């Protein structure tokens, strides 16, 4: 059973990675969730997306605040 879960995780991660790369590494879990539902018609919870991105070490680039000096 463990092997099939790993395989399913990898397939889901490949789809997440495709969206992540297409958005220029600037999309978080909730953005990826919306794209999965609207474009690919795949239902996946944001917790699973966060778990998979953490498991495979993907980090979204965080927008830095502007300096008003």
Residue 64 lies in a domain: no
Rounded to an integer, what distance in angstroms lies between the CA atom of residue 48 and that of residue 8? Answer: 12
Percentage of residues of the chain with pLDDT beyond 70: 96
Residue 31 lies in a domain: yes
Residue 67 lies in a domain: no
Residue 63 lies in a domain: no
Is the per-residue pLDDT at 9 higher than 60? yes
Residue 69 lies in a domain: no
33-52: average pLDDT: 93
Q: Could you list the residue range(s) of the whole structural domain that residue 13 is in?
A: 2-55
Residue 8 lies in a domain: yes
Rounded to an integer, what distance in angstroms lies between the CA atom of residue 27 and that of residue 2? Answer: 29
Is the per-residue pLDDT at 36 higher than 90? yes
5-33: average pLDDT: 89
Using a cut of 0.75, tell me whether the model's pTM lies above it. yes
Residue 12 lies in a domain: yes
Domains in the chain: how many in total? 1
Contact 61, 25 (CB under 8 A): yes
Residue 61 lies in a domain: no
């Amino acid at each position: 059973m463990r092997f099939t879960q790993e395989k399913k995780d990898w397939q889901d991660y490949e789809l997440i990675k495709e969206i992540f790369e297409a958005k220029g590494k600037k999309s978080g879990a909730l953005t990826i969730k919306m794209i999965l539902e609207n474009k690919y018609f795949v239902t996946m919870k944001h917790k699973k997306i966060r778990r998979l991105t953490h498991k495979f070490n993907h980090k979204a680039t965080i927008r830095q605040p502007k300096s008003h000096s």
